[in-house]
Structure 1
Amino acid sequence: MGRQLQLRVATPEDLDWIHELRHRVYAEELHQHAPDPSGRLQDGLDGDNVYLVAAREADRIGFVSLTPPWLGRYALDKYLSRDELPLLNDEAVFEVRILTVEPRWRATAAAPLLMYAALRWIVSRGGRRVVAMGRTELLDMYLAAGLRPVGHTVRSGAVSFEVLTADVAELTEAAAGRHRGTLRRLAARVDWRLDMAFLTSPDGCEHGGASFTAIGTDFRRLQRRAQVVAADVLDAWFPPAPGVRAALTQDPDWAVRTSPPADAEGLVAEIAAARALPPETLAVGAGSSDLIFRAFGRWLTPDSRVLLTDPTYGEYAHVTERVIGCRVDRFPLRRADGWRIDVDRLSAAIRAGRYDFVVVVNPNNPTGRHVPAADLYSAVAAAPERTRWWIDEAYLGYVGLTESLAGAATTDPRVVVCSSLSKMYALSGARAAFLVANPATVRDLRRWTPPWPVSLPAQLAAVAALRDPAHYRDCWRRTHALRRDLASALAGLDGSLNVEEGVANFLNVTLPSGGPSAAEWVRECRRHGVFLRDLSPLTPAYQGRTVRVAVRDTAENARIVAACWTAWHDLRGPAVPAVAGVSVAGPAR
């Protein structure tokens, strides 16, 4: 074990060796640069880029450099203009460069492992495309890895390079497919010290819910749930309405063994009554993901042009890009704008892009921002007739149901509204959701819906929940107070933490640059039974530093604050913050 190949982010002690090795290889061996009397080779990106290092005990073996998009500049800018290489304007493109290995280690697995580590680091920061310069004589190695030339050759000193690019999802799929067995064997032999998992998830879609792995997915030790704060998923902190418990406990044996109404007619009627919608405009499913997969698979093809806001709920990118293979563009939301959707800018983007399908989550997850219904519908009205809109209103109750576009969806064939009953009605375990569309759209979708799409316990629970709106209005109101208190306590841990609230049942915390990453903070909190969501894989806009925290009840929020302080203390140093009204003692270590 002591001779394992170690992969890590470069430490300050590594930098002198990196500069010395660069000089030996690129100045003395390849004559790309003139020799420097210092015997060291640096460039203008040093200090901003990220170096990953391969080592074996005290022996440093090789390194690779990564330049993230948030720097706003790349090494390639020295050779080509943005007009010549417009892909550098993509807000999710990462540059991989100067993959360098000590001469005596070049016949080993060091170079492929450094390339794989670079890919995993880019995936963990939301990268969607890579760009690189590959030495012409090594082009076959880069082609075998999945990179493709873009048609530009650049020359630096005595060395010529091909400009290469690749889609990150395709590289990940290839690694998980062709090389999965090899990677699994290497996982036990590599000392992986990076802040992301060595292997990607099987389907490539990042979800929350890691908290359930601490409880046990085999359900043998459910008592562990009391030891875990599941703030990495957005399940309700409050219980469902009393009528839900009554409906499920009245005759649980019957509810479990009995087939439900095949088309959930009673649930459809209850939704129609509760939301004042015609029943023929409603389709139901076992959660919003069921409806997303069913509807998108019916309406979209690989030729469909789709626009997603960025960041947004990751399931949409997964389904459109990886499952269906649509041509997907992103409408970037920016921290400087408070993550709000500028509807005028959105309308202009839709007109320019000629999109078939636009997805808007409102309020948005994970930003927590809401677009007023009137403003959003103005963008719908201004869009081309051919553009269909999918409006996800999973968290609308926290704003007010009067802000729904469901009424417009019943008559406007361009609009579909999806509404989960899971999050707002404390029914995540039951899985129930509905969509609203014009009758013709609903009739078509129902033809492609299998019988019994929602279980009988879920139908019973959902109907009982919809019959008690007062219970939920009070819970939603109390959620806002809990969120404000949690935000205040987290902001009080350290003045360098940026806490952003939004309007729903969660908030985001961004860590300062130069300190621990979001992944490291999340990992430390898990040691204390508190699970948070690292948002980094969703988008480069978070720069690997933003964590989403679900609002829980008062006691669990106190545990969140305590774990966050302890993690911050362990990662940053011994300074103890004073947080008014909140205990930061944390659980016993």
Structure 2
Amino acid sequence: MDDSPTHARPAPRAEIEALPRYSRASGLDKVTWVASSNESPVAPSPAVQNAMAAAAASLNRYPSLFGDQLVAAIAERLKVPPDQVMVGAGSLSLLQHMLVAYAGSGTEVVHAWRSYEAYPILVGVAGSAGLRVGLDAELRHQLDAMVGAITDRTKVVIICNPNNPTGTMIRHDDLMRFLGQVPGNVLVVLDEAYREYTAQEHDEVALLATFPNVVVLRTFSKAYGLAGARVGYLLAAPEIIGNLRASAPPFGLSSVAEAGAVAAWGEQDLMKANVAAVVAERAFLAAGLGSRGFRVPESGGNFVWIEAEQAKGLEKECIRHGVSVRAFDGEGVRVSIGSRGASLAVLAAVDTFLKDRQIRRNDSSII
């Protein structure tokens, strides 16, 4: 006789069951160029690789509790005290720590939409309710509407600047006006994952002196080419840093990742040269798409946004031409910037896509 329990299974919290799933790029096993994850097209330098290899020789030892060496290097260059810097296993991990520490059940988190697709997932994990504020006609944050969405239950507002996936940017003066309207008890997270690719008016780290409720969130995954190492950092008031460190798991950054980030942080000229190449290629691809009739917002990231209702169809055509992209069906396609060959493959795919649509429109048997 089978005495085993019934077929019941453990169930997660209702919020976890309802979470959207992070999308995956299609066709990665079929393409020559990967333009779907906003990675750097340039591998880490030999100095970075050597630093990481050297650190691997001591993997039997724990890393420092809070990534002390990297914290010190960041603090020195940005001219802030070390107690205003926190590092972790990617900016996404740090954002999750913030939402768990400052939001939670019965609270709300305001963010723009469309924006980074991980936001609704992390908000749900924290047990909060997400309030999405649509972008304007130019695919930019509607800052006044975001202020209007704040209620007594709002604990966090997330600003993605430049915005992923549209690439649109917020002017410093507009950001200052927005911050002046947000209640001081609401945490404002400035997600600046792509700031290095933007012509910068100001370094928003200076905002910390005026707005103690602001957190500046950045990453080594993009311009520094360490997506596989998972390193991010944030800057905030010491009180916020203390609360985050108290609630985050210890040893949050591996010693190998820290060594690579410290080495990459010391290669500012190389980083800027790599960024300049991406920005030039971004202009080439955007011009090519514009000449084909697409409205391409000016991008401050290492990617461009193609507005296209038939996004999945365009994605499939790109894969057939040897390049992966990220499709958001019904909205558009995000293309990460890489080599000239990848850009030409995307443009060739767009040409085929447009020609096929024209043939279909002219074929009365299909209408």
Output the amino acid matched with 1:254.
Answer: A
Q: Contact between 2:111 and 2:146, CA under 8 Å: does it hold in 1?
A: no
Q: Deviations over 1:40-66 (max 9, x none)?
A: xxxxxxxxxxxxxxxxxxxxxxxxxxx
Closer, same or farther: CA 461–370 of 1 in aligned 2, 3 Å: same
Residue 344 of structure 2 corresponds to residue 558 of structure 1? yes
Match of 1:235 among 39, 43, 48: 39
| Post-superposition offset of 1:442 | 0.7
Match of 1:284 among 65, 87, 95: 87
Q: Deviations over 1:496-547 (max 9, x none)?
A: x333332211111123x6xxx11122123223331111123xxxxxxx0411
Closer, same or farther: CA 565–258 of 1 in aligned 2, 3 Å: farther
Q: How does 1:414-425 map to 2 (within 5 A)?
A: 414-425=213-224
Which residue is 1:268 aligned to?
A: 71
| Post-superposition offset of 1:365 | 0.9
Q: Deviations over 1:308-333 (max 9, x none)?
A: 1111111111221x323323222221
Closer, same or farther: CA 441–557 of 1 in aligned 2, 3 Å: same
Higher strand share: 1
Q: Contact between 1:356 and 1:388, CA under 8 Å: does it hold in 2?
A: yes
Match of 1:324 among 108, 111, 126: 126
Which residue is 1:166 aligned to?
A: none
| Post-superposition offset of 1:260 | 2.4
Give the CA RMSD over aligned residues. Answer: 2.8
| Post-superposition offset of 1:437 | 1.2
Distance 2:183 2:222 in 1: 33
Which residue is 2:319 aligned to?
A: 526
Distance 1:556 1:173 in 2: 38
| Post-superposition offset of 1:274 | 2.1
Larger relative contact order, structure 1 or 2 (CA cutoff 8 Å, min sep 6): 2
Distance 1:433 1:385 in 2: 25
Closer, same or farther: CA 504–414 of 1 in aligned 2, 3 Å: same
Count of residue pairs brought into register by the alignment: 348
Match of 1:205 among 21, 25, 34: 21
| Post-superposition offset of 1:209 | 4.3
Match of 1:448 among 247, 252, 275: 247
Output the amino acid matched with 1:502.
Answer: S
Closer, same or farther: CA 171–566 of 1 in aligned 2, 3 Å: farther
Q: Deviations over 1:99-129 (max 9, x none)?
A: xxxxxxxxxxxxxxxxxxxxxxxxxxxxxxx
Match of 1:426 among 225, 237, 259: 225
Residue 107 of structure 2 corresponds to residue 340 of structure 1? no
| Post-superposition offset of 1:341 | 2.9
Which residue is 1:498 aligned to?
A: 295
Q: How does 1:353-368 map to 2 (within 5 A)?
A: 355-368=154-167
Closer, same or farther: CA 451–561 of 1 in aligned 2, 3 Å: same
Which residue is 1:385 aligned to?
A: 184
TM-score normalised per structure 1: 0.54
- Stretches (4+) displaced over 6 A: none
Match of 1:308 among 105, 111, 124: 111
TM-score normalised per structure 2: 0.85
Closer, same or farther: CA 402–287 of 1 in aligned 2, 3 Å: farther
Closer, same or farther: CA 256–410 of 1 in aligned 2, 3 Å: farther
Output the amino acid matched with 1:528.
Answer: H
| Post-superposition offset of 1:256 | 5.1
Extract unaligned runs of 5+ from structure 1: 1-169, 175-202, 216-226, 537-543, 576-589
Closer, same or farther: CA 353–309 of 1 in aligned 2, 3 Å: farther
- Tell me the secondary structure at the aligned position of residue 508 of structure 1: strand
Extract unaligned runs of 5+ from structure 2: 1-13, 362-367
- Tell me the secondary structure at the aligned position of residue 525 of structure 1: helix
